[in-house]
A and B are shown apart, each in its own frame.
Chain A
Amino acid sequence: MKLYVYCLVEGINALSGPVRGIGGAPVRLEKIEGLGVLVSDFDDDAVPVTQENAMDHAAAVRSVLDRTTPLPFRFGTLVSEQQLRSFIVARKPALETNLSLVRDCVEMGVKIIWDVPKDKEDEPREREDGIGTTFLAAKRREILGSELRAAQAREISTWLHQSMSGLIQAEKVSTQPSEKLFLTAAHLVGRVNVEQYREKTAQVRDERLDLHFLLSGPWPPYSFANIELEFKTQFGVS
């Protein structure tokens, strides 16, 4: 029997009601070294990555969000009770620091999608220029285009940061994670500032009607729970 681990919590001693976890198993709150951990029993050796399981994980983590700010574990974390205890004992100072960083905060998400209009000048003119020239011209457009987009993404990132300053306690920003997705930002926002944050993002949207915004939240602080450096070091993954 293994434990499926959902999140770390502080400041609560019991769940407010029954919570259904992965596979319908009841979620319980365990106390280890003074830290709370939401877990449920799990019989198998691996957790299938299905939509239902992902939603169950999200629901369990979210079940405590009204009362405290949880530090979520990544989906699929299965351990023995002894392993979980060893992990918490070994990492306790780092985990407490992480919990204190997200205390009384939630995560708000911003995704910016930008459909760059194609300039007719950029269309290939193979018949006039020949294959070689067309290829080189296309390559030039590709390089200049990506440089331009990178510069624009940085500019928008700076603009967004400045617009939201004073309302965010921390942020994780990725520019150009994919062709159309121009920017993704996770903002750590104090609970008392959530409404103000929403009002501000509405203003920000109105300022840039050429961009498409996807705003979401509040979330448990998934983006601010990483202790991945140790993981990378351990496995040589970068």
Chain B
Amino acid sequence: MSFDQIIVSEEWEETDLSLLETLDHVLNRGLVIAGEITIAVADIDLIFLGLNVLVSSVETAHEVLRKRPLE
């Protein structure tokens, strides 16, 4: 089965919305791999990396949102 992704809005350019929606989904959601397994194998790097990426992602999303016409 094949799906065409469709983004519908009466006000904004589809290209911008497509990017914004993709960033929203990719950066802010999804399965989180963290915590227990890192401690189990004593690899501290992943903890810091995970948190850094998380923080960076939110900041990036805000930066992108500030440039969009929704604001």
Interface residues of A (CB under 8 A from B): 5, 7-8, 45-47, 49, 51, 54-55, 57-58, 61, 65-66, 71-80, 82-84, 86-87, 90, 98, 106-107, 109, 113, 180-181, 191, 194, 198, 212-220, 222-223, 225-228, 230-231, 233-235
* A228 CA / B7 CA spacing, docked (Å): 28
- Asked whether, in the complex, the Cβ of B31 is within 8 Å of the Cβ of A49, the reply is no
Contacts of A225 in B (CB 8 A): 29-31
Give 6 A-B pairs besides A74-B54, A76-B57 with Cβ atoms closer than 8 angstroms: A55-B22, A58-B26, A73-B32, A216-B17, A218-B3, A226-B29
Complex: how many Å from CA A87 to CA B54?
19
Range, interface on chain B:
35 or more
Give the number of A-B contacts (CB < 8 Å): 159
Contacts of B25 in A (CB 8 A): 58, 107, 109, 219-220, 222-223
A212-B11 contact in complex given A83-B46, A225-B30, C-beta closer than 8 Å: yes
Other-chain residue from A49, A65, A222 in contact with B29 (beta carbon distance below 8 A):
A222
- Contacting A at CB under 8 A, from B1-40, are 1-3, 5-12, 17, 19, 21-23, 25-27, 29-40
CB neighbours of A82 from chain B (8 A): 41
Please give, as numbers and ranges, the residues of chain A lying within 8 Å of B43 by CB-CB distance.
80, 83
CA distance A45 to B44 in the complex (A): 12
Chain B residues engaging chain A, CB cutoff 8 angstroms? 1-3, 5-12, 17, 19, 21-23, 25-27, 29-41, 43, 45-46, 49-54, 56-57, 60, 64, 70-71
Q: Can you name 17 A-B pairs with beta carbons within 8 Å?
A: A46-B53, A51-B64, A61-B26, A66-B2, A66-B3, A74-B30, A82-B41, A84-B33, A86-B40, A87-B33, A191-B1, A215-B9, A218-B5, A223-B29, A226-B31, A227-B31, A230-B36
Cβ–Cβ contact B49 & A45, under 8 A: yes
| Assembly CA distance A61 to B27 (angstroms) | 13
Taking a contact as CB atoms under 8 Å apart, the answer to whether B27 and A49 are in contact is yes
Flag if B35 contacts A75 (CB, 8 Å): no
If the complex has contacts A58-B25, A75-B26, A180-B70, are A230 and B17 also in contact, measured as CB distance less than 8 A?
no
* B45: nearest chain-A partner, CB-CB: A45
Among A76, A78, A84, the most chain B Cβ lie within 10 Å of the Cβ of A76
Closest 3 CB pairs of A and B: A76-B53, A234-B35, A74-B30
Q: In the complex, are the beta carbons of B70 and A181 less than 8 A apart?
A: yes
Q: Establish whether residues B32 and A228, one from each chain, have CB atoms under 8 Å apart when the complex forms.
A: yes
In the complex, are the beta carbons of B32 and A51 less than 8 A apart?
A: no
